[in-house]
Amino acid sequence: MFTSVPRLRRGLVCAVASLGGLLLASAAGAQGRDSLSFETALRLALNAAPDSAPFAAEARALAFDARQAYARPNPTFDLDVEDALGTGAYVFLRGAQLTGQLEQLLESPTKRRLRRDAVLAGVGVNEAQAAIVRADVRARLVLPYVALATAQERLAVAHQARTLADEAVRVVELRVVAGREPRVALLRAEAARAAVAAEAAGAEAEVAGARRALSVLLGASADSLGASPLVAYRLRLPNELPSYDTLRAGIEKTPALLRFQAEANRRLALAAYEAVRLAPDVAVRAGVRAYAEGALGLTGGVSIPIRRYDRGRDGAEAARIRALAVPLEARAARAALERDLAAVYVRLAASHAEAQTLRAEALPPAQSAFDLVGEGVRLGKLSALDVMDAQRALADVRRRYADALVRYAEAAADLARFAPTDDAMRALLPF
């Protein structure tokens, strides 16, 4: 009925060792299963984003618009009837003369080319707008992805804690039966196990909610994503942050400012077209006239518009002023981006410093304390409840570290708008 002390001690030592193994193997086990990389998630999110679909359609439409803008004017056929429906010799069509003419406007090739260039300049604007939407989708994806990674790690810690709590209850029960622990110790162990079980249930619900939030962005249901952990990375903190000056210098390459360059090109192209839009284009006519006597004759003519009232100067000047206004708009947008960057960088640096401090100064002592508890168990100086206290302290530090990483990820998501490329943004993310 009674269990020997060495046997009890061996059981508790095995429980501590099993938890240490679980802590070390949790990441490898999660990444060993089928998982979803951030790059793949970004591709799925872009395909599913409703605000990115119109840009592909607009690109196709602009290609047709460019062809249409360079097309020559269609010819015109005129049929004139003279000396008809009169009296005497001109009753009905008896003395009528019929004239058929074909007219063609000889539009300047330069005018057609500038009109086409104005349309093609819109392609750059469309691409810049698509890049802005891509950056926005990229930023929106970071938080759900990090939230799922955080929830997965918390769930792994909760499962480890539940395994240890079950083992601790078993060992304490043996010690109570052996008379080495009071009955109240077993009640405390069972209460601790119930608390750990509740925490594990909450972690499972958190993972389910994070999966649903991510599935919405990916355009899939949470069930269709399978039972894999999805996130392919453990949360990690970059060792160093890019300097504020480096990020500030890269603002010029952000989609938000590149859009102004594309818009400036478009307005300059429109101004160039407006300058020649009302330039006179000659129209030539040629045809045949049928006389009442049965004779035929050729007709021809030339039409030249007279720029008497509308000379196009006002329209050209308005287009030129709008083109000159783009640098002013870009300067105001850059100032706003620099203000936003400064505010976001403060949050990023603060959360990075907090997480770095927890990783360097809080996690190692908590892990060492947990390891020392195992040594105390081996020497018979500590009980299973001491193991559980050490485990809870370690889990609490890990939770605080995960929370700091989430705050860092929130700042990194806001900073994604300032990253000119996916690689530049990827270097900031905590995985």
Looking at residue 288, its amino acid is V
| Predicted local confidence at residue 223, as pLDDT | 56
Highest mean pLDDT among 30-44, 168-182, 186-200: 186-200
| Predicted local confidence at residue 222, as pLDDT | 54
Q: Name which of 346, 356, 365, 338 is nearest 430 in CA terms.
A: 356
| Dihedral over Cα of 365, 15, 27, 197: its sign | negative
| Predicted local confidence at residue 211, as pLDDT | 85
Q: Which residues of 256-274 are buried (b: 16+ CB within 10 A; e: fewer)?
A: bbbbbbbbbbbbbbbbbbb
- With bands split at pLDDT 50, 70 and 90, how would you rate the model's confidence at 5? very low
pLDDT in tens, 339-398: 999 999 999 999 999 989 998 999 899 888 877 876 665 555 666 567 667 777 887 888
Q: Domain boundaries in the chain?
A: 5-426
Distance CA 173, CA 185 (A): 9
- With bands split at pLDDT 50, 70 and 90, how would you rate the model's confidence at 170? confident
- With bands split at pLDDT 50, 70 and 90, how would you rate the model's confidence at 212? confident
Phi, psi of 225 (to 5 degrees): -80, -10
pLDDT in tens, 216-254: 888 876 555 655 556 656 677 888 888 888 888 888 888
- With bands split at pLDDT 50, 70 and 90, how would you rate the model's confidence at 406? confident
- With bands split at pLDDT 50, 70 and 90, how would you rate the model's confidence at 2? very low
Q: Identify the CATH number of the domain defined by range 5-426.
A: 1.20.1600.10
pLDDT in tens, 411-423: 887 887 777 677 7
In this predicted model, which residue has the larger pLDDT, 16 or 389?
A: 389
Burial class from Cβ neighbours inside 10 Å (0-12, 13-18, 19+) for residue 402 reads: buried
Predicted TM-score (pTM) of the model is 0.69
